[in-house]
Structure 1
Amino acid sequence: MTAQPKFIVVEGLEGAGKSTAIAHIKSWLAARGITPVCTREPGGTPLAEKLRDLVKQVRDNEQVAAETELLLMYAARMQLITNVIKPALAAGHWVLADRHDMSSRAYQGGGRGLSDDMINPLRAMVLGNLQPDLTLYLDIDPALGLQRARMRGELDRIEQEQLAFFQRTRDKYRQIASREANIAVIDANLPLAQVQQQISAALDQALA
């Protein structure tokens, strides 16, 4: 295992099993003597968590514009990158993130239909040269993912979107994954043991 700190991201639709995957990754890293700094998006800092609440809360009396949602996501991401991710990597810590920039490209780009011309300038400003060493994209049928999400309890504002929204989001996720080498696609429709086998294989190939 290289001593160079790595930035690992877990992505996927609601119900894809990101939390379970992150627990498995933490165990894989622990077996190699690594305790990562764990983050989530949107969120991960006090201000970013407040922005998360603004994005997630259901508002009966006001529609949230797609562009507003996009800007809130990148504002939260800037806080997290500046105050947590970059300092952790600079200090030699591995970082394990529940979502990152690929989410905005998929949800706001694919789901909301916002153009790359709108998103890319924000990406350049917020990310700079930061990119994950490995992104594990948990690919799941949106209908199955939403069924799992409903079983967890009350849905937030984004989780209440129609199935077509999540189908567009999945299409964008898969499009991005097909053209970027540092993204491993995990079939999250399979039983848990097989999903974990795929994750371990991807980690072994990319990082061991």
Structure 2
Amino acid sequence: MWQRKRHRGIGRSLCFSVCLLLWFMEVKLCLGSDKLSKGDSLSGSDTIISEDGTFEMGFFSKTVGSDHNLYLGIWYKNFAEKTIVWIANRGKPLPNTPRSRLEISGDVDGNLVLFDESDIVWSTNMSSTFPASVEAVLLDVGNLIVRDVSKPSVVFWQSFDHPTDTWLPEAKLGFHKYNGNMQRLTSWKNADDPSTGMFSVGISPR
């Protein structure tokens, strides 16, 4: 009898320890889940979520004709129907395979780079030299930024400067301050194909 009670006690203690460990793991996963740091990689069903839980970024697939394409995008997290607000590689879809990944370049430029195995499909394409301590963060407004870890107010790149078809609150339309290019919204080709469509809107210099 004593041995049976002792075994039950050990079983309950083990169960409690496992639950506690899982809880700590969950807390750890929630902390910093809005960031992608150097050495991290986003692939498969991995996502990062804005701090307030409004927006989520990861991979989504679309079937275009006979092709099953994969895209890196941002969408509203809690909408019943996935509503995409930004796409990194809308003109260069990935094959729908587990080889695709997003990571911060190990080079001095600190670019966000989207790979299909070893081939670069998309990049933030920053040409200047930046500090080694950079991170990508998905903000509560749906803006993906690359910033200095030691000085978070210093932003090197942001998705708001490269809109696709959706204009979010706090985003602006105008001219890129570095290259003079017009920022514009461009429709999807159709409901299943997020490549650039026939219609766009922007601010004309005339």
* TM-score (norm: length of structure 1): 0.26
Q: Which has the larger radius of gyration?
A: 2
Q: Which structure's residues are more often strand, by fraction? A: 2
Answer 1 or 2: higher relative contact order, Cα 8 Å, separation at least 6.
1
Q: Which structure's residues are more often helix, by fraction? A: 1
